[in-house]
């Protein structure tokens, strides 16, 4: 059985969207204009939106990883490394 991969092109694209949004912030036209949204500068609203979008993107990536069996594979890997460390501790 193939081990599920956390980093895939689809998951990287999901996380790239808010990252590019953050990087594009200085180049957006509303940053240089004195624009307010609900009394808050538009750049701060944009940054807050990118923070929320980042959290949603990371949650989506984690959910897709879990659905593909990633947590079970992580648990098997952790159990295997614990057994190896126990064997190594008993040796002189």
pLDDT of amino acid 82: 65
Question: What pTM was estimated for this model as a whole?
Answer: 0.71
Burial class (CB in 10 A: 0-12, 13-18, 19+), 50: buried
d(C-alpha 74, C-alpha 46), whole Å: 36
Q: Has residue 1 got a pLDDT over 60?
A: no
pLDDT tens sequence across 56-91: 999 998 888 888 877 787 787 778 776 666 666 555
Judge contact between 4 and 69, C-beta under 8 A: yes
pLDDT tens sequence across 7-65: 788 888 989 999 999 999 889 888 878 888 889 998 899 999 999 999 999 999 888 88
């Amino acid at each position: 059985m193939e081990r599920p991969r956390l980093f895939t092109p689809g998951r990287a694209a999901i996380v790239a969207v808010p990252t590019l949004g953050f990087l594009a912030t200085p180049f957006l036209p509303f940053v240089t204009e004195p624009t307010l949204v609900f009394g808050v500068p538009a750049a701060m609203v944009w940054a807050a939106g990118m923070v929320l979008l980042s959290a949603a993107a990371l949650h989506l990536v984690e959910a897709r990883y879990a659905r593909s069996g990633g947590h079970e594979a992580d648990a098997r890997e952790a159990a295997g490394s614990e057994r190896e460390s126990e064997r190594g501790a008993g040796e002189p």
